[in-house]
Amino acid sequence: MAARLLAFSGSLRKDSFNHRLIEYAADLARARGAEVNVVRLAEFPMPVYNQDEEDASGLPDTVLKFRELMKRSDGFLISCPEYNGSISAALKNAIDWATRPYQDEQPLECFKGKIAGLMAASPGGLGGIRGLDHVREILCNIQCYIVPGLVSVGSAHEAFGNDGNLTNDRTRAMLDGLIENTVNAANALHGGK
């Protein structure tokens, strides 16, 4: 059975460069035999995490739906927008909710032992690399395996052709390598189960 990957960006914006990048990456992963489910965080509106709210009302339905997708996946493809040199609030909030214990689950069941391929796109010259370091640190802390070779796409407003493909050969090759390693790692660790 093929590796199952959940792919999403940390942006809520409809025309997000990071969502374009995740769609492109998902196609690369599918071409390598992975089963990829692309979603948008905006489809799962989550309140800002507050333990008082959780204690009073439990996990919101949108959180439970997103967590279920995570639990059924062998790994993740995440495109991470950089907000002021760090992680977006939407992505951090989704991670915070997904780490909360629920019923009979093991601790960190959404993340523990999962593979993560990380990328970023930004109109700036650094391509979101500063935020990627923060995302990597957070995911390592919650027991994800991060695939080496983070990919950042600078000048993202000029990086995609009309067909949605990346136009820079070097960037395409780097992303293809990241996707190949992510799919291979997911298959090796999870046996495509």
Give the mean model confidence (pLDDT) for residues 153-175: 92
Enumerate residues 6+ apart whose C-beta is below 8 A from 32.
179, 180, 183
CA pair distance 16, 23, nearest whole angstrom? 11
Q: Considering the domain 4-190, what is its CATH architecture?
A: 3-Layer(aba) Sandwich (3.40)
Enumerate residues 6+ apart whose C-beta is below 8 A from 150.
118, 119, 120, 129, 132, 136, 178
Q: Are 116 and 46 in contact (CB under 8 A)?
A: no
pLDDT at 24 over 80: yes
Residue with the two structure tokens 């027991």:
143
What pLDDT, in 10s, does the model give residues 82-109? 999 999 999 999 999 999 989 888 889 9
What pTM, to 2 d.p., does this model score?
0.95
Which pLDDT band holds residue 127 (cuts at 50, 70, 90)? Answer: confident
For the record, the structure tokens of 24 come out as 């492109």
Instruction: Tell me which DSSP letter residue 162 carries.
Output: T
| φ/ψ (deg, to 5) at 79 | -105, 125
Give the mean model confidence (pLDDT) for residues 59-66: 97
Enumerate residues 6+ apart whose C-beta is below 8 A from 41.
8, 9, 10, 11, 12, 66, 90, 91, 94
